[in-house]
Amino acid sequence: MNARTDEKERKKIKAVKKMKEIMTFYYIDAKTASETGKKVAWITSGGPVEPLIAMDVIPVYPENHGAMIGAAKMGVELCEKAEAMGYSGDLCSYARSDIACATVNGGPIGGLPRPDMLVCCNNICGTVLKWYEIQARYFNCPLFILDTPFCHTSFSAEAKRYVRRQIDEYITFLEDVCKKPFDRDRMAEVGRLSIEGQRLWQAVLDTTINRPAPMTAFDAFFHLALIVTLRGTQQAVDYYRLLLDEMNERVREGVGAVDEEKYRLLWDNLPIWYRTKWLSDKFAAHGACLVADTYTSAWCSSLKYMNEDDFLESMAEGYTRIYLNIGVDEMARTVIAMIDKYGADGLVMHSNRSCKPYSLGQYDIRSIVERERGVPTLIIEADMCDERNFAEAQIEGRIDAFMEMMAAKGSA
Amino acid sequence: MKFDRLKEIVEDPWGTLGEMKERGKKVVGYACSYVPEELIIAAGAHPARLTGTREGIRLADGHLQSYCCSLVRGILEDGLSGRGAVLDGVVFPHTCDSIQRLSDIWRLNVKGGFHLDLVLPVKLDTDSARDYLVDVLKRFLSDLERALGVEVSEADLRASCLLTNEIRRLLHELYMIRWRRPELLAGADLHLLNRAVGIADRNLIVETLREAVADLGADGARETTKGNKNILLAGGMCSTPDIFNLVAEAGGRVVWDDFCNGGRMFLEPLRLDGDPIAAVADRFLSRVVCPCKHRGLTDRANHLKALATERGAGAVVFVHLKYCDPHAFDFPYLKAELEKTGIPSLLLEVEDPLPPGAQIRTRLEAFLEMLD
């Protein structure tokens, strides 16, 4: 084994294997739920999963599935199928992929298991409301909507009351569908595990404060899966502890994710799933490490509002005040705080045609960040799942020009 | 019937609002039909619906990507260009993701005037949502009072509820007259009226509508029979008056519309007994929903099917703004449901202003020919 292969081997994150194993068993469990008598709920990525776990319901995430479809480069085919069904090509590519996939059981895992119920929380967008209405009609199954009022500048007392009441409605809904009482002791335990998992995930992400960073945002995109899908389980806690140990070990040994880390960048918006490897290599070739991102950190962005001793009470606020459900100026403040925390020299924004609440407002965030921190921004126009909206040559040119500008700035 | 004064108003909305302001009236702009005009009127101000600029876009592109609808872009342009400076304040209700971000971008970039977010519930079919809606409307009223430096009495609210109800009643009556005798009122004039309703002095609107109803409504005996080429237009906010003429020129006849600045405006009168705020809330809860809102899974399809049948429409033409996600998501389902009842439909994706070219005309002609 030569030195180069040796170094490559050293850089590989060992926990990846464990993660793949967990996700495989998770999907086997979900897909065989009808045989084991368990119920399946489809839930939005920012949705309140903990009560489902407490009720022994298997949560399934169409958005995680969308990411898998994107990463498997199967997005275009499914999006085209949705367009043939009458859905506009301008709609969210996760939604298009999922809606089409449900009718043909396509995609990388042959479709998701049929839902017994749908749980939609609109804290991430209005798209999920429409998407889940469509699926509720298609599968003819009950739909619960957790309506989390948008916090432009504040979280009002009225909104808090409204969301809190809906948590009780949610529990009643689950009791009705599952035909069994809600176990509050179990819920308290799941709540504690959820918060512990989120803290560990934040700790994992924070290891990139170190120079060189032991992992990149591209790694975070991968390791994110458990905090989304298995939040509130011991399994997620154990996994992130393992991953955190490995990252701390790398920090101690000085193992960086990128060779000769010269530039530290912050990523904004969802990943471009079908090009993560390409983008990762592209930035790494310039000695640029994407040290953090606004996307994967969103799953622990509400920790400050959560109370582990009273999870149900605090989740109304925690689920309402997540990163996407806040005003553009508060998002900009979050970006600035991340730039400071992770020592980022530049900002890379994915202007994502699929996600208006994430993308509209990015130009203003860019201006605020440039004004407040003098940090330059690169905007990549693309889409998270629909490869037809990725112009490789143009994007490559823009990345190269941006990195040359960073280099010139560094040497100036 | 001539609507010269209203035509002038619609063609120069900012001039009209400026004149009002010169006369000492406070003007409050708002971005969607879920803003309760009654509360603004009761607070002594003039509500002006923002419908996007008719001028070119110069500044909004610096804040919005290409995949944002022309309505949101046009509203922002009016703000950034300074035309919106005539407004004493603006109200952005929670509707779609784009209007939600428009509110933030406006707040950060358009200075002067107060800025209120009316964060309405998205669900409209639960008790907790109703209570929240009432809470939000009460807070909105107190925010308005503070911003405008007034105190609103229950009598003020009752008076404004009477006024808006009268506008709704008259508009409905005019729609009915036109439905019975389409030749009496050109579609473009109807569209003009609908637009003027959001801009002009509401007393002038009442006066004009009363005159129109009196002039046109003499002969109301005839009923429109179902016709293959009777068209129901459907969609969100329609800013394209040409669509009425285009349908007519292609050989069809618009018998009704389900636009939020058209036929949906006058649905559900306000209950006039009891608490006016609760009545405003209940109207929003009982009116057929905009696709940004949720009230069951079949609400909109049932409404459209019933409306098409009731008005004898042989087909539905959906007019959607490009990049309007909520409407685009509903379309395949609505189309399929209409087909089940034997009603064909066509989708036109438009931008405001309509691009020149014959594409829409050709599609309409082909569709109407098919209806023979």
In order of A355, A367, A387, B19, the CA distances from B11 in angstroms are 35, 35, 43, 14
- Whether B242 is covered by a domain: the verdict is no
> Which of chain A's residues have a Cβ under 8 Å away from the Cβ of B297?
133, 136-137, 143
pLDDT of residue A303: 92
How far apart (Å, rounded) are the C-alpha atoms in residues A366 and A353?
Answer: 17
Contact A134 B126 (CB under 8 A): no
**What CATH number is associated with residue B108?**
3.40.50.11890
Residue B197, CB-side half-sphere exposure with 13 Å CA sphere: 27
Q: Which of A87, A120, A132, A147 to mutate to test the interface with B (most CBs of B within 10 A)?
A: A147
- Domain residues for B59? 4-156
pLDDT of residue B357: 65
- Interfacial B residues in 198-257 facing A (CB < 8 Å): none
Q: Are A181 and A201 in contact (CB under 8 A)?
A: no
Distant-in-sequence, close-in-space partners of A346: CB < 8 Å, separation ≥ 6? A263, A264, A265, A266, A288, A375, A376, A377, A378, A402, A406
Take residue A15 and report the two structure tokens written for it: 């926990």
Q: How close does chain B come to A85, measured CA to CA in Å?
A: 7
> Which of chain A's residues have a Cβ under 8 Å away from the Cβ of B103?
152
CB contact B351 to A (< 8 Å): no
- Whether B125 is covered by a domain: the verdict is yes
- Interfacial B residues in 24-83 facing A (CB < 8 Å): 62-65, 67-68
- Whether B47 is covered by a domain: the verdict is yes
How far apart (Å, rounded) are the C-alpha atoms in residues A233 and A224?
Answer: 14
> Chain A: residue nearest B337 by CA?
A137
Residue A377: Cβ-neighbour burial (10 angstroms; 0-12, 13-18, 19+): buried
> Which of chain B's residues have a Cβ under 8 Å away from the Cβ of A356?
67-68, 97-98, 101, 325
The residue whose two tokens read 């309506």 is A147
Of B94, B128, B294, the CB nearest to A169: B128
- How is chain A split into domains, by residue range? 3-182
Contact A149 B121 (CB under 8 A): yes
> Which of chain A's residues have a Cβ under 8 Å away from the Cβ of B326?
126, 130
- Please state the φ and ψ torsions of residue B98, each to the nearest 5 degrees: -75, -45
Residue B279: Cβ-neighbour burial (10 angstroms; 0-12, 13-18, 19+): buried
> Chain B: residue nearest A383 by CA?
B67
How far apart (Å, rounded) are the C-alpha atoms in residues B225 and A235?
Answer: 66
Q: Are A83 and A92 in contact (CB under 8 A)?
A: no
CB contact B107 to A (< 8 Å): yes
Q: What are the beta bridge partners of residue B348?
A: B319
Collect the ranges in chain B with pLDDT lower than 50. none
Query: A3-182 belongs to which CATH class?
Result: alpha beta
> Which of chain B's residues have a Cβ under 8 Å away from the Cβ of A162?
121, 128-129, 131-132, 135
- Whether B131 is covered by a domain: the verdict is yes
Distant-in-sequence, close-in-space partners of B74: CB < 8 Å, separation ≥ 6? B51, B52, B53, B54, B57, B60, B352
How far apart (Å, rounded) are the C-alpha atoms in residues B143 and B43?
Answer: 11
Angle B146-B35-B203 from CA coordinates, rounded to 5°? 85
> Which of chain B's residues have a Cβ under 8 Å away from the Cβ of A126?
96-97, 100, 122, 292, 325-326
pLDDT of residue A160: 97
Take residue A207 and report the two structure tokens written for it: 């290891």
pLDDT tens digit sequence for A34-84: 899 999 999 999 999 999 999 999 999 999 999 999 999 999 999 999 999
Number of domains in chain B: 1
- Write the DSSP assignment of B230-244 as a string of letters: EEEEEES----THHH
pLDDT tens digit sequence for A283-300: 999 999 999 999 999 999
Q: How close does chain B come to A398, measured CA to CA in Å?
A: 17
CB contact B294 to A (< 8 Å): yes
pLDDT of residue B371: 92
pLDDT of residue A11: 84
Residue B38, CB-side half-sphere exposure with 13 Å CA sphere: 33
pLDDT of residue A292: 98
How far apart (Å, rounded) are the C-alpha atoms in residues A131 and A128?
Answer: 5
**Centroid of chain to Cα B266:** 10
- Whether B94 is covered by a domain: the verdict is yes
pLDDT of residue B219: 62
Indicate whether A172 pLDDT > 60. yes
In order of A214, B37, B41, B79, the CA distances from B22 in angstroms are 64, 21, 18, 19
Distant-in-sequence, close-in-space partners of B218: CB < 8 Å, separation ≥ 6? none
Q: How close does chain A come to B106, measured CA to CA in Å?
A: 10
Q: How close does chain A come to B107, measured CA to CA in Å?
A: 10
Average per-residue pLDDT for chain A: 96
How far apart (Å, rounded) are the C-alpha atoms in residues A365 and A333?
Answer: 9
pLDDT of residue B226: 75
Measured from the Cβ of residue A57, the count of other Cβ atoms closer than 10 Å reads 22
Distant-in-sequence, close-in-space partners of A338: CB < 8 Å, separation ≥ 6? A266, A292, A294, A297, A344
Q: How close does chain B come to A312, measured CA to CA in Å?
A: 17
pLDDT of residue B224: 60
How far apart (Å, rounded) are the C-alpha atoms in residues B97 and A360?
Answer: 9
**Centroid of chain to Cα B225:** 27
Of A90, A149, A360, the CB nearest to B328: A90
Indicate whether A193 pLDDT > 70. yes
Take residue A347 and report the two structure tokens written for it: 């900002």
pLDDT of residue A409: 85
pLDDT tens digit sequence for A264-275: 999 999 999 999
Q: How close does chain A come to B65, measured CA to CA in Å?
A: 7
pLDDT of residue A70: 96
Coil, strand or helix at B43 = coil
Torsion, Cα of A229, A235, A241, A246 (10° steps) = -80
pLDDT of residue A8: 79
Take residue A2 and report the two structure tokens written for it: 């030569």
Residue A241: Cβ-neighbour burial (10 angstroms; 0-12, 13-18, 19+): middle
Q: Which of B108, B142, B333, B348 to mutate to test the interface with A (most CBs of A within 10 A)?
A: B108
Of B102, B119, B325, the CB nearest to A149: B119
Which bin fits B246, alpha (ψ -120 to 50), beta or left (φ > 0)?
alpha
Take residue A198 and report the two structure tokens written for it: 């989120």
- Whether B25 is covered by a domain: the verdict is yes
- Whether B314 is covered by a domain: the verdict is no
Q: How close does chain B come to A226, measured CA to CA in Å?
A: 27
Q: Which helix (DSSP H) or strand (DSSP E) does residue B10 occupy?
A: helix B4-11
Of B64, B128, B139, the CB nearest to A162: B128
Take residue A104 and report the two structure tokens written for it: 């043909």
How far apart (Å, rounded) are the C-alpha atoms in residues B235 and B316?
Answer: 10
Indicate whether A1 pLDDT > 60. no
> Which of chain B's residues have a Cβ under 8 Å away from the Cβ of A90?
67, 322-323, 325, 328
Of A90, A152, A169, the CB nearest to B323: A90
Contact B326 A86 (CB under 8 A): no
Q: How many helices (H) and strands (E) does chain B have?
A: 14, 8
- Whether B343 is covered by a domain: the verdict is no
